[in-house]
A and B are shown apart, each in its own frame.
Chain A
Amino acid sequence: QLVESGGGVVQPGGSLRLSCEASGFTFSDCPMHWVRQAPGKGLEWVAVISYEGSNEYYADSVKGRFTISRDNAKNTVYVQMNSLRPEDTAVYFCARTAPRSVGVFDVWGQGTMVTVSS
C-alpha cells in the first residue's frame, strides 16, 4: 500500500514537498516513481529513484525544479517541488516498480492534489 500526503494550494514560484509512505512490501527493493495527472488530462511520468537511492531521473518538464528522494528506513519516498508553475497543478501519485520489472507501475497510491494558483 502507498499513501501520499503533503498536497495543497501554493502560489506560483512557491515550493511544496510531497511524501509517500509504503507498507506491505519490501520498500528498499523497489524503484519508486511520481506520476501526475492534471485535471481532466492524462497521466504523465514525473520522476524515478532507484531502489537504493543512488540514481534519479526526471521528465524534462520538471528537471531542475523537482527532486525525488527516499528514506528506506522510513519506507518513504519524497518529491521536493520548487519554482512551481500553474501547469504543475495535478494529482500526484506515487507508484512502485516491482523488483526485476521494467517500465511497470504495479502499485499506486491514492494521489494527493497540488494546486498552483495565486
Chain B
Amino acid sequence: QSALTQPRSVSGSPGQSVTISCTGTSNDVGAFNYVSWYQQHPGKAPKILISDVSQRPSGVPDRFSGSKSGTTASLTISGLQAEDEADYYCCSYAGTYMYAIFGGGTKLTVL
C-alpha cells in the first residue's frame, strides 16, 4: 500500500489557522476511525497530537483538532504559534497485517 497523501508544505502567520489534509483509500482512512496525527521537530522523536480521528491526549493544547470525511482526514491548528513550526504526519490503521500507514509528512512554516 502507498503512503497517505499530505501536502508537502503549508504556512500561516501567528494567530491564524491552518488545515493539513491526509488522503487515503477505502482500505485505510476510509475503513477505520483510527487516524492519528504526530508532530515532529527536527532531530526529535514524533509526538502524538490526535488519536482516533479527533481525540486529544492529555497535555495536547485544544488548538489542535482532527476530523475525517470519507477517505480524507484533516488536522487543524488554530491560533498558530512559533513553536508549532514542525513536520506533521498523519497515520491510519490499515488492518491486522499492514497495521499502520503514514502520510508523507507536511512541513508547517509559521511566517
A residues engaging B (CB < 8 A)? 33, 42-45, 48, 57, 59, 93, 101-106, 108-111
Contacts and interface: CB of A to CB of B under 8 A. Distances in A.
B48 interface: yes
Interface on chain A toward B: helix, strand, loop, or mixed SS? loop
B85 interface: no
Per DSSP, chain B at the interface is: strand
A108 B92 CA distance: 17
24 contacts: A33-B100, A42-B102, A42-B104, A42-B105, A43-B46, A43-B91, A44-B102, A45-B91, A45-B99, A57-B96, A93-B46, A101-B51, A102-B32, A103-B32, A103-B34, A103-B35, A103-B91, A104-B36, A105-B36, A105-B46, A105-B100, A106-B48, A106-B51, A110-B45
A108 B34 contact: no
B89 interface: yes
Contacts of B93: 102-103
B34 A104 contact: yes
Contacts of B36: 103-105
Interface of B: 3, 32, 34-36, 38, 40, 45-48, 51-52, 57, 89, 91-93, 96-105
Contacts of B101: 45
Contacts of B103: 42
A108 B99 contact: no
A108 B98 contact: no
A104 B46 contact: no
Contacts of A45: 91, 99-102
A110 B3 CA distance: 23
A10 B26 CA distance: 39
Nearest to B28: A103
A71 B8 CA distance: 39
A93 B45 contact: yes
Given A42-B89, A102-B93, A111 B45 contact: yes
Nearest to B94: A103
A44 B103 CA distance: 9
Contacts of B47: 108
